[in-house]
Structure 1
Amino acid sequence: MLAADYPFLDLFWTMLIFFFWIMWIWLLFTVFGDIFRRHDISGWAKTAWIVFAIVLPFLGVFIYLITQNVGMTERNLARSRAQREQFDDYVRETAGGGGAAAEIEKAKQLFDSGAITQAEFEAIKQKALA
């Protein structure tokens, strides 16, 4: 262990340990978050996984990752897809279907079909352009 006496190697070793510690904390949050977000297992099963991960941390977390890898991926993809769809719906709702041009086009179709009068068409047109 002659190399451990050098300050640079001590610094490198400390940085490596710190990196793995942060990675371990991130892994715990990922696994615990997935366990708590699951809807396909009961509360007892969730409790068992949490206790297993706390009593035997490395073994519990690694076994969960090995056995539940496909399920974690599918749940993350479904959650991401749902968030994207929700955002797209929000954008469509906020955009209002095209703005003033779309409103004028709808009013023109109503006017051409005889559903509204010329005065009503002009009022909708002025409101859309305002």
Structure 2
Amino acid sequence: MTTQAEKAAVGRLGEDLAVELLTSQGWRVLRRNWRSPVRECPGELDVVAVDPDGAVVVVEVRTRRGSACGTALESVTPGKVRRLRRLFAAWWSSLPPDDRGPRGAGARIDVVAVQLAPGAVPQLEHVRGVG
């Protein structure tokens, strides 16, 4: 059985790998692990970043060590996307207006799926615009 500490370590590794991937492609990370202070909108955004085109992107990182419970991408359900949209709006509204950047650059939700296997190089898949 996997402990909470082991799950947290796997999740942290996946997020670190995802951030390495994004920054190597010219992305600028604005925030990691932002937790909503709004009781009516609980949850966490894994990564908030700006892509090379200037769009603000919430990146959901899903890390798996196997596929017995489905793939990392399959775990991003329509309900999860709705929750991410609400969290994105809460994060955005928490910013002072001067920190919101230029208008018109766009915003979206992406997923980085990280597949880990013993003795193998981690596999990362970046899916843009899931919501």
**What TM-score comes out, normalization by structure 1 length?**
0.29
**Structure (1 or 2) with the greater helix fraction:** 1
**Structure (1 or 2) with the greater strand fraction:** 2
**What TM-score comes out, normalization by structure 2 length?**
0.29
Larger Rg: 1
